[in-house]
Amino acid sequence: MRRTWLGILSKPVPGELETPSGIAAFEAAQVCPDVRFALREDWGESYSLEKTGDAYAVTGGTTGVLYGAYALIRAIAAGEPLPEGRQTPYYPLRMLDCWDNMDGTIERGYSGRSLWFEDDEFSYDPERIRQLGRMLASVGINVLCINNVNVHQPAQHLTDSLLPEVKKLAAILRPFGVRLMLSIDFSQPMQNGLDTSDPLDPRVEEWWTEHAEKVWQEIPDLAGFLVKADSEHRPGPSVYGRTHAQGANMLARAVAPFGGKIVWRAFVYNCLQDWRDTTTDRPCAAYDLYHPQDGSFDNNVILQIKYGPYDFQVREPLSPLFLGMPRTSIAMEMQLAQEYTGHQIDVYAMAPMWRELLDQAGKEKLSALVAVGNLGRDDNWTGHPFAAVNLFCFGLFAWDPDCDPETAIRLWERLTYNLPADQEETFVSMLMNSRHVYEQYTAPLGLCWMVRPDIHYGPSPYGYEFQLWGTYNRADRDAVGIDRTKKGTGFTEQYPKELAQLYADPEKCPDELLLFFHRLPYDWKMRDGRTLIQRIYDDHFDGCAAAEKMYAELKTLSIPEPDRTEALQRMERQVRNAREWRDVTNTFFHRFSGAPDAHGRRIYA
């Protein structure tokens, strides 16, 4: 058995258990001898728990009973009270997007190879897939998209010949309440006999309708198709002069008879920008494109929007699209894979960031929560043993977007390590603070993209400066940042008035986003009295010192092996990485500004 937060369950789920209620009874019996189940089919995913004496009762719908069993197990294992009353997930769609390629690699994967693909085939250990089902169900994740949104070759289209394999995988996960979703390539019709993929050509719609019929015949409960179109060289409707709504709705009509959804990603921008062009501003792109189309998407289309207007940076303002698409079903996309946040080498617990984002967006504006996965074949599933906290918390947030980050992180710690009380405090606050620490030594004040190009790990302040991706800081000897107010690129104008005014005023703009919205001189006076350049130096020194402190603290914790050794090895790299960030970034800005550090610390000028 591989390690998970469900260590209390020592027996693997047997393959012959084919219903959620069967699995629920099996799992609960491992923890408590006296659990009774009442199935209420009309309850769907909901459940309620009760305790009388030493006996427990789980009432729930078809998958609700399973969620109820895992909630009971979690509460017993963590020594916490049972949730009161009927529990219902807030979002019906709680999805993990896996960027797995059929050759077995994972785009932005830091936990080993794919759990289900190898050598252009499906290849997996069914026992491990059942463990995966258990993990997902135990935190309420109910949809798994198994292939990369960059559908690279026709071999990855998961069409006809591969469908029986998709069907087998779906059958293993079904009893865990997990349905599959498939990424598709918008140009599939053209690669399969037609001379066009124009969404308004009736032959194209017919092609998709027939294709959908075949797919749903094999996997009747498939959740739908996920589409990355017109983005980073992926084909899309714009090739034919059609809108995204026209493209998405054509697909939506094809899958509607089967109850399928089209999840359409809003990650669209000009990825061939000229760095000399200061008028095009990448953060403006998605809103410019989609806001005018609000209200024109079919009911079974969900627009999946990355949390920020750029791309999963450590700090971005909320994408203005969340506040500008009231007549469209939208999903927020998180990224558990730590592409820009430390490659699962650096510790980075995301729940505090999600709390901020969901509070700003307003949970009721969303119809789904989605995350790019961080799983792979590594023994511990997530590369860094602590990165599992992000998968765990994501499930809890998608179930209940009012989730408190500290409570969720503590629950994960109790289930996984159950440290003595004082150690638990140290560890939980280390995780709670880890995003702030990473932000300080990498990119404070809303400075993004100072990473090594392509791999996105390690410092490179000018790495993206003369590239075509639209990701610039425009640092020179006088100033740094981009003016995104009305006088500049106008990005602030995409927000509702109050927020636009807040962000547009450098005196009021929150410090952590200051250089996202403004171009400021190095001697700019911050509200705390420091100059901007001093704040840049201080944050890098402080962040690095905090990483060193984390390492010292980790050594004092009795995390069980092998996690302890693995975590210490990775944190040693994190500390080295933090020093590199501190020295490269501070030296970079020192060389431009010529400003000495007020505390006389060493900068490699």
- The active-site residue, picked from 198, 316, 339, 400, is 339
Question: Which residue from 281, 311, 413, 538 is in contact with ligand GCW, where contact means CB under 6 A?
Answer: 311
Please, are residues 331 and 369 in contact by the beta-carbon 8 Å criterion?
yes
Shortest CA distance to 281 belongs to which of 92, 456, 490? 490
CB of 315 vs ligand GCW, minimal distance in Å: 15
Binding letters toward ligand GCW, positions 184-223, x by CB under 6 A = ----------------------------------------
Which residue, 149 or 554, is less far from ligand GCW as judged by CB?
A: 149
CB of 44 vs ligand GCW, minimal distance in Å: 31
107 binds ligand GCW (CB under 6 A): yes
Residues 6+ apart with CB under 8 A from 285: 268, 269, 270, 309, 470
Question: Which residue from 149, 212, 345, 371 is in contact with ligand GCW, where contact means CB under 6 A?
Answer: 149
CB of 155 vs ligand GCW, minimal distance in Å: 17
Q: Is 295 exposed, middle or buried (0-12, 13-18, 19+ CB in 10 A)?
A: exposed
Which residue, 255 or 305, is less far from ligand GCW as judged by CB?
A: 305
In 364-464, the DSSP E strands lie at 368-372
Sign of CA dihedral 329, 389, 351, 456: negative
Spatial distance between the Cα atoms of 372 and 337, rounded to a whole number of angstroms: 6
99 binds ligand GCW (CB under 6 A): yes
C-alpha distances in Å from residue 358, one per residue of 302, 331, 410, 475? 17, 11, 20, 32
CB of 228 vs ligand GCW, minimal distance in Å: 5
Chain length of the chain:
605
Could you give the 3-state DSSP secondary structure of residue 580? Answer: helix
Spatial distance between the Cα atoms of 443 and 462, rounded to a whole number of angstroms: 13
Which residue, 50 or 107, is less far from ligand GCW as judged by CB?
A: 107
Which residue, 149 or 350, is less far from ligand GCW as judged by CB?
A: 149
CB of 511 vs ligand GCW, minimal distance in Å: 26
Spatial distance between the Cα atoms of 77 and 272, rounded to a whole number of angstroms: 52
Please, are residues 262 and 227 in contact by the beta-carbon 8 Å criterion?
yes
- The active-site residue, picked from 27, 100, 205, 311, is 311
Which residue, 9 or 331, is less far from ligand GCW as judged by CB?
A: 331
Query: Which residue, judged by CB position, is nearest to ligand GCW in the bound state?
Result: 311
Which residue, 267 or 297, is less far from ligand GCW as judged by CB?
A: 267
User: Is there a catalytic annotation at residue 339?
Assistant: yes
CB of 312 vs ligand GCW, minimal distance in Å: 6
Could you give the 3-state DSSP secondary structure of residue 182? Answer: strand
Sign of CA dihedral 404, 407, 412, 413: positive
CB of 195 vs ligand GCW, minimal distance in Å: 28
What residues does 97 pair with on adjacent strands?
145, 372
Binding letters toward ligand GCW, positions 333-372, x by CB under 6 A = ------x---------------------------------
CB of 293 vs ligand GCW, minimal distance in Å: 20
Question: Which residue from 19, 30, 88, 150 is in contact with ligand GCW, where contact means CB under 6 A?
Answer: 150
CB of 107 vs ligand GCW, minimal distance in Å: 5
- The active-site residue, picked from 18, 210, 232, 402, is 232
Could you tell me how many residues of this chain bind ligand GCW (CB under 6 A)? 10
Footprint on residues 217-276 left by ligand GCW (CB under 6 A):
228, 267
Question: Which residue from 312, 392, 394, 441 is in contact with ligand GCW, where contact means CB under 6 A?
Answer: 312
Please, are residues 392 and 5 in contact by the beta-carbon 8 Å criterion?
yes
C-alpha distances in Å from residue 145, one per residue of 94, 331, 347, 599? 11, 15, 26, 51
Could you give the 3-state DSSP secondary structure of residue 172? Answer: helix
- 461: which 2 tokens? 């302040």
The alpha-carbon radius of gyration of the chain (Å, integer) is 24
483 binds ligand GCW (CB under 6 A): no
Q: Is 379 exposed, middle or buried (0-12, 13-18, 19+ CB in 10 A)?
A: exposed
Spatial distance between the Cα atoms of 44 and 483, rounded to a whole number of angstroms: 50
User: Is there a catalytic annotation at residue 493?
Assistant: no
Shortest CA distance to 124 belongs to which of 337, 392, 344, 376? 376
CA 272 to chain centre: 25
436 binds ligand GCW (CB under 6 A): no
Site residues (vs ligand GCW, CB under 6 A) = 99, 107-108, 149-150, 228, 267, 311-312, 339
- Active site positions, annotated: 232, 311, 339
